[in-house]
Structure 1
Amino acid sequence: MTTTGPMISDRQPRLRDDPDFRRYWIARASSLTGSMVTALALPVLVYRLSGSPFLTALVTALEAAPYLLVGLFAGALADRWNRRRVMVSADLINAVLIGSVPLAYLAGVLTVAQVLVVGFVVQMVFTFFDGANFGALPVLVGRARIAQANAAVWTASSLIELFVPPLAALLLAVMNPADLLVIDALSFVASAIAVRGIVRMMSEQRTGQRPLRPKVVFADIAEGVRYLVRHAGVRTMTIIGSLQSFAGGGFMALMIVWCDRVLHVGTSGIRFGLVYGTWGIGGLIAALGLPRLLKRMPPAAVALYALPVSAVLGIVSPLMPNWELAAIALLVWGSAYVLVIVNAISYRQQVTPEHLLGRVNTAGRMLSWGVGWTGGSVIGGLLGSSVGIRSAMVLMGAGGVAAVLVAWTSPLRRIAAAHDPLHA
């Protein structure tokens, strides 16, 4: 099946010379910087307030749970609405929500319940941003450059993951984690300003749309899900993404407790920051390497070869006897893990028709991030409380083996052999 959609012309500037893409990149980098601070500060805040491994793991689960509730609706509505307006509105709403935590701390009324509720609602609002964002980028840059554009965004993300966690960890030694959330609130504002400044359209002209009614929304959702299920490549990439996210969610849900109780590097300081940040180095390697890999092999082959590496390192990493070896293992795992993710996202955006981009991508994201990551986080937290932190992390990491088995017995082998990423 071939896809339709906007392609770039020879006269279009390189991505780094494209002012609209630069604005988009700045928006994503700003938001990612704040989100990385929050990803570290929020579970540390809950851990310090409660001392509970389960509640700490619950923070990670709440990052993805909103996709289970509103993911499909967000994708369907994002395909109908103006994507720029959705993204700007979501950013501004989240700036207010995140900002409420340091204000409550300053007033002396902050509770664990508020932190968990804010974490959940922020991610629910972000689901609408994500639905619009998935559809906006292919329209903005053209499908031929989508892998390059995603690599540029993930390169920024990886650099942020490399430098921000150590800096945030150092700040946690002298500041309350609630105070650090001000950075995230400001980053949402910066992202909204940058997105608002994008000149080119991020949605194609909509004609002949049916009036927005509940029945119509459900029909739109069904159309997107049917495409995901019937397209062999998209379907398989989604399944393996869900299984890998299950393993990753369980691991990351326990990572702060692992650093504190197993590696004995605490929850602040340079050693903690280095362990937490080496994943970002791996992500940087993956983001820089993906465009080059895709010149040599199709996305299906990238997934087939990266998954076994990810599965092995998911089991090996928690068994490392000290923080130095743990950091090295996380670097390699991060490379393979992120390579699978960016490759799958780029493939979905490349082959999905424009009018289905929000629905198909949020459906895939719901299954991998919502079901896989949330389920892994909850089960990881429960296992951590019952069988111990290290044993729980090994068990969760073993979930990546299932992704390998699915991938190598799926249509991906046929698609890879065909060596054509636009057919399935």
Structure 2
Amino acid sequence: MARTAFEVGAFRRLWAAGLISDCGDWLLLVALPLVVLRLTGSALGTAAAYLLELVPMVVLAPVLARVVARFGGRYLMVGVNVLQAVCLVPLFAVHTARDLPLTYGVIATQATLTGLFEPAKNALLPTLVGPERLVSANALVGLNLNLARLIGGPLGGVMLAIGHLSLIVAIDIASYLGSALLVLLTRIPRPERNGAEPSSGFLTALRAPSLRGVLTVTLVAGIAQGLFLVLFVLFVIRQLHGSDADVGLLRGVQAIGSIAAGLGLGILSRKLNPRTLVTLGAAAFGALSLIIWNLPQLSTARTVYVALFILIGAPGIVLVTGTVTTLQHATQEAGRGAAFTALGAVNAIGQGVGLLAGGLVDTGVSLSLLLEIQGGLYVISAVTALCLVPARPTTVPLPKVSVEHGS
């Protein structure tokens, strides 16, 4: 009989906290780019907002890793949630283009705080659920993100249309405070320090042989994802001759496939090999992408693409679940925060490269060529996983720095 993470009460509370917070995030994730576009009238300004979300994870990665290593646990997560709520308050003052620096400042601050919360959460999961439920736990956390996208994404657009940014900000603040309360009520064991504090181990995590494969896969897949963010809209408008509504529809239905895959892995999973998940997820992502990008030569029927974009939602959660589980198995408790901070930094670098590469379409580079490259990168990441990600990760004891107390 399958053992699922939902059997663990502490995980259920942490999962519910994540769902509440993620729904609030998606309200803002949809609304802020639209607000920036309204204030600037520029697609470049909107692209800058996306890039700004990635910068803190790269520039501040060693600092974030040290904070997670030193303070990681329930109270760090509660504190981050509260700070996220407080840092949204300046958005109440955003009304004109002159207020754009406030908007960018909030985006950068929220990205920094997310860079603390996510590694802390991922590092705690093995402590909460044990190794036999890790695949289930990671899949259910991935399910959260897609449920939130399905709920919060459309709601954010509707609420911005009928109300004002302030309404969305107020709801998002409430979601962060609700999440903080649930995390506070969750009994999460703190790792034993034994008189020593773990160092960030950030550079060690980047260099560790058993992590090198999964970080390389993440970098290549991140470039593909960055390309997708830029090229997807152009594909729907130019090659499918679709409308803005079609863009929203096809982007949204991906959550259906992700939710189905998340439920399958989270509820029905047994001891699945993380490398198999990474390889199959990346390979399926690449194959489906290449089919979609080339299919307009045969058909542009909307129903066909709705079905395909539902399907393409599934490999993403399989890939992420395998990646996260690999890192959790490959690092000791004290080093997981550093490993996940490194993962976030590598992913941010990849997405940034992809976003910039997607802009080449404005210089005359063929859209079709860039789409083929995007799909091919996922295939390359699958081959990389098969060759470099160990089937049974060896635990890496990232270094510690002793701290003497007293004299």
Instruction: Give the TM-score taking structure 1 as reference length.
Output: 0.80
Cross-structure match for 2:258: 283
Instruction: Pick from 112, 130, 137 the counterpart of residue 142 of structure 1.
Output: 130
2:212 aligns with 235
Shift of 1:260: 6.6
Unaligned runs of 5+ in 2: 397-407
Tell whether 2:77 aligns with 1:80. Answer: no
- Is there any run of 5+ residues in structure 1 with no aligned partner, and where? 1-12, 211-216
Q: Which residue of structure 1 aligns with residue 401 of structure 2?
A: none
Name 2:357's counterpart in structure 1: 379
Corresponding residue number in structure 1 for 2:276: 301
Distance 1:153 1:51 in 2: 36
- Compute the displacement of 1:137 (Å): 2.0
Residue number among 135, 145, 156 corresponding to 2:144 in the alignment:
156
Check whether the contact 1:79–1:135 (CA below 8 A) recurs between aligned residues: no
Please give the secondary structure, in 1, of the residue aligned with 2:187: coil
Three-state SS of the structure 2 residue aligned to 1:199 is coil
2:380 corresponds to which of 399, 402, 415? 402
- How big is the shift at 1:228? 5.1
**Structure 1, 116-125 or 287-296: larger mean CA deviation:** 287-296
Amino acid at match of 1:349: Q
Cα shift at 1:52: 2.5
Contact map agreement 1:15 1:149 (CA 8 A) in 2? yes
Aligned match of 2:91: 101
Question: CA 1:288 to 1:174, structure 2 compared with 1: closer, same or farther past 3 Å?
Answer: same
CA separation of 1:277 and 1:295: change in aligned 2, threshold 3 A: same
Q: Which residue of 2 aligns with 1:117?
A: 105
Instruction: Look up the SS of the partner of 2:191 in the other structure.
Output: coil
Between the aligned partners of 1:142 and 1:169, the Cα distance in structure 2 is 39
User: C-alpha separation between the residues in 1 aligned to 2:364 and 2:307?
Assistant: 25
2:11 equivalent to 1:21: yes
Shift of 1:358: 0.4
| AA of the residue aligned to 2:275 | A
CA deviations on 1:249-283 (whole Å, 9 max, x unpaired) are: 221245567667775432xx6x5543221121122
Letter in 1 for 2:381: A
1:50 aligned partner: 40
CA-based RMSD: 3.0
Partner AA of 1:235 in structure 2 = R
1:40 paired residue among 30, 35, 44:
30
Cα deviation, residue 318, structure 1? 5.1
CA positional deviation for 1:76: 2.5
Give the letter for the 1:79 counterpart.
A
Question: Within 2, Cα distance between the matches of 1:120 and 1:411?
Answer: 34
| Structure 1 residues 289 and 258: CA distance shift in structure 2, 3 A | same
Judging changes above 3 Å, is the alpha-carbon distance between structure 1 residues 283 and 86 closer, same or farther for their aligned structure 2 residues? same
- In structure 2, how many angstroms separate the alpha carbons of the residues matched to 1:423 and 1:294? 23
Equivalent of residue 197 in structure 1, options 185, 200, 205:
185
- Determine the structure 2 residue equivalent to 1:209: 196
What is the aligned counterpart of 1:170 among 149, 154, 158?
Answer: 158
Distance 1:97 1:318 in 2: 40
Say if 1:292 and 1:95 are closer, same or farther in 2 by CA, change over 3 A.
closer
Do residues 61 (structure 1) and 51 (structure 2) align? Answer: yes
Aligned counterparts of 1:376 and 1:255: Cα–Cα separation in 2: 12
Q: Equivalents in 1 of 2:74, 2:380: separation in Å?
A: 38
Structure 2 counterparts to residues 203-282 of structure 1, below 5 A: 203-209=190-196, 220-221=199-200, 223-227=201-205, 229-232=207-210, 234-253=211-230, 255=232, 264-266=242-244, 271-282=246-257
Alignment: residue pair count: 388
Contact 1:265 1:323 survives alignment (8 Å): no
Q: TM-score, normalised by structure 2?
A: 0.84
In structure 2, relative to structure 1, the CA distance for the partners of 1:175 and 1:256 (3 Å cut) is farther
Change (3 A) 1:327 1:115: farther
Which whole-Å CA distance do the structure 1 matches of 2:289 and 2:314 have between them?
Answer: 12
| Secondary structure in structure 1 of the residue aligned to 2:186 | coil
Are the structure 2 counterparts of residues 244 and 142 from structure 1 closer, same or farther at C-alpha, using a change threshold of 3 Å? same
Q: Retained in 2: the 8 A contact 1:43–1:59?
A: yes
Question: CA-to-partner distance for each residue in 1:144-193, whole Å, 9 max, x for gaps?
Answer: 22221122222222222223323333334433456433332221111111
- Give the corresponding residue for 2:402: none
Aligned residue identity for 1:334: G
1:330–1:58 Cα change, 3 Å = farther
